[in-house]
Amino acid sequence: MTELSTPEFAHDADTALVTGATGDVGSWVVDRLADGGTHVVGIDRDRPEGVRANADFRAVDLTDQAATWETIHEVDPDAIVHLAAISSPQENPATRVFRNNVSSTYNVFQAAGRTGTDVVWSSSQAAYGALFAAGAWTPDYLPIDEDHERRPEDPYGLSKVCGEEIARSIARQYGISVTTIRPATIFSPERARARPNEDGTDLSAEEPSGNFGSYVDVRDVARMVEAALAADHGGHEAFHCVADENYLGRPTAELLETVGGGLPDETALEGKQSALSNAKAADVLDWTPAHSWHEQDDGDVSGPTWL
pLDDT at 66: 98
Per-residue pLDDT tens, the chain, 307 aa: give them: 434 444 445 444 599 999 999 999 999 999 999 999 999 999 999 999 999 999 999 999 999 999 999 999 999 999 999 999 998 888 899 999 999 999 999 999 999 999 999 999 999 999 999 999 888 889 999 999 999 999 999 999 999 999 999 999 999 999 999 999 999 999 998 765 555 555 555 655 555 557 889 999 999 999 999 999 999 889 999 999 999 999 988 899 988 888 777 899 999 999 999 999 999 999 999 999 999 987 766 566 778 988 8
pLDDT at 202: 60
Query: Of 23, 26, 120, 28, whose CA–CA distance to 77 is shortest?
Result: 120
pLDDT at 297: 66
pLDDT at 203: 58
Contact between 77 and 15 (Cβ < 8 Å):
yes
pLDDT at 255: 86
Class of the CATH-defined domain 15-285: alpha beta
Domain positions in the chain:
15-285
* Global pTM value: 0.92
pLDDT at 294: 79
Contact between 25 and 44 (Cβ < 8 Å):
no
